[in-house]
Amino acid sequence: MRGGRYQARRLARGRRRALALGLAVTAAALVAAGPGDADGARGHPDDSPSTGALAPTGEPVRRPPPPETVAAPVRISDAATVRLLRPGDRVDVIAAEETAGGGRARVVARRARVTKVPELLEGPADDGALVVLSVPRTTAVRLAGASATARLAVTLW
């Protein structure tokens, strides 16, 4: 059969083009039907720390946390971990206690939103670093109690 190989290639090429066109149309439909955020943020669309507007100083205008949450400053024992954080990140805070029988760790706060990461000051590395979290009032109480008796660490979401 003459030309059979050519016709098979042509048919396959046509199918690949049709598949590519179908994928492009599907992608366009998904984008059009997706969330209507103006800034296109998908990670934290409702939890962004700013309104998008700029203050006269050029910094983002901060909106206050919802009434049921408070800003809780927390000292994390590993300063290098705090350098990885940025406002808007979600973290779990873990308290590691050393007892006579060994160590014990427990989660003190889940999915806490980082609102501010102050610049690290020069000093002993053992002091850790400060981070400000937006958490419910009851969680802030647990964080304060845990920081008095244990070393705190964070895990990123």
Provide the mean pLDDT of the chain.
77
**Chain centroid, CA 30 distance in Å:** 24
Number of Cβ within a 10 Å radius of residue 147? 20
| Contact call for residues 91 and 155 (beta carbons, < 8 A) | yes
Question: Is 137 in contact with 71 (CB distance < 8 Å)?
Answer: no
Please check the confidence at residue 40 and state whether its pLDDT lies above 80: no
Residue the block writes with tokens 């998908």: 42
Both tokens of residue 23?
């994928």
- pLDDT for 141 beyond 70: yes
Confidence of residue 97 (pLDDT cuts 50, 70, 90): confident
* 124 or 128, which is more confident: 128
C-alpha 141/C-alpha 63 separation (Å) is: 23
48 has a pLDDT exceeding 70: no
Q: Structure tokens of 38?
A: 């103006």
**38: phi then psi, degrees, rounded to nearest 5:** -70, -35
